[in-house]
Amino acid sequence: MKKLITALFVALAIIQAAPVAAQDEAAIQLALANPIQLADETAAVRGLRFSLLYGRNASVTGFDFGLVSQTTGDQLGVQLGAVGLVDGNFEGLQATWVNIVRGEMSGVQTGIFSSTERGHGLQWSVVNNARNYRGLQIGLVNYAERIHGVQLGLVNIIREGGMFPIFPLVNWSFDSN
């Protein structure tokens, strides 16, 4: 395993040092730590992205695995790892320790901390945070400014329109948002 990781580091260093034009799209992205990665950070990845330490791309469609993975645009598919950052919209399964979607999340977020600006689906983490959410939040602490759905957890907070502002075990709101 140690030899494989060393070979990967060497291969990425050689590829990074070679003068190549920026790619618009890549089927496979291997990243040590941006900017040491096969495709430029402005490239879209359609297929597989593997980020050993930190990978960054414009968009990702497919499977994304890494310690820290950042997408500056939209992402569609499965994201696994320690930290998943999506500056645009996310659709699919985001299962990292820390999930942050700055746009709209559609699907499932699961981990220690999950956050989205707008979303619908399931947030299942220790701490869930959403500004405007439609669906189910399950965690120790659930927070939503507005929700059309149900919260299950130790502490459930709905800032606007909830059955209760703060309530243990279960809270809900079915106001339109």
Residue 55: per-residue pLDDT = 97
pTM summary value = 0.85
Asked, for residue 29, whether it belongs to a domain, the answer is: no
Q: Which residues contact 55 (CB under 8 A, 6 or more apart)?
A: 29, 31, 34, 37, 49, 66, 68, 69, 70
Label residue 139 exposed, middle or buried (CB < 10 Å: 0-12, 13-18, 19+).
buried
Name the residue among 96, 71, 63 with its Cα closest to residue 82. 96
Give the pLDDT confidence of 53-64 residue by residue, as tens digits. Answer: 999 999 999 999
> Into how many domains does the chain fold?
1
Asked, for residue 13, whether it belongs to a domain, the answer is: no
Question: What is the domain range of residue 101?
Answer: 46-173
Asked, for residue 70, whether it belongs to a domain, the answer is: yes
Q: How many CB atoms lie within 10 A of CB 160?
A: 13
Residue 19: per-residue pLDDT = 39
Asked, for residue 21, whether it belongs to a domain, the answer is: no
Distance of CA 123 to the CA centre of its chain: 12
